[in-house]
Amino acid sequence: MIVHEFKMRVRYADTDQMGYVYYGHYARFFEAGRAELIRSLGFTYREMEERGVMMPVAGLEVRYLRPARYDDLLTIRSGIRELPEKRLKVYSEVFNEAGKLCTGGKVTLAFMDGKTNQSMDCPEFFLQVLRANWSV
């Protein structure tokens, strides 16, 4: 598996009138977390697209346990638990500064050929990146 932690601060733009982070904004936190996970492997999602592979999101699941609030420095823990074939699943957990779990989620991403817009298997070059960083 591969696990990565990344810190990100809640901005006013993220809050709603309940004083909580709006439920839709966790998608952005999860996205940042998985982009930084990939960067930690010596690769970037930008390079993925430059190589002609897009990764549209196919599924999202989120459980909201505790509200995150303005100016909280959140820790986003992103994890990949299995090597992808047609789909990559990234597990995301968001912790507040007290170390309490605010939100847990799973994002399922597809692989798509950027020229044909056809779905494809995980490209071999990305599997190699994952395998090189895999820990049991």
Catalytic center residues? 16
Identify which of residues 3 and 110 has a Cβ nearer to a copy of itself in the complex. 110
Q: What is the DSSP string of 10-47?
A: PPGGGB-TTSSB-GGGHHHHHHHHHHHHHHHTT--HHH
Identify which of residues 1 and 111 has a Cβ nearer to a copy of itself in the complex. 111
Residues of this chain that interact with a copy of itself (CB under 8 A) are 9, 11-13, 15-20, 22-28, 31-32, 35, 44-46, 54, 56-64, 67, 70-71, 107
**Angle subtended at Cα 121 by Cα 92 and Cα 91, rounded to the nearest 5 degrees:** 5
Identify which of residues 1 and 11 has a Cβ nearer to a copy of itself in the complex. 11
Q: How far is the CB of 102 from a copy of itself (least distance, A)?
A: 12
Name the β-bridge partners of 75.
7, 95
Q: How far is the CB of 1 from a copy of itself (least distance, A)?
A: 24
Specify the DSSP element, H or E, that contains 54.
Answer: strand 53-54
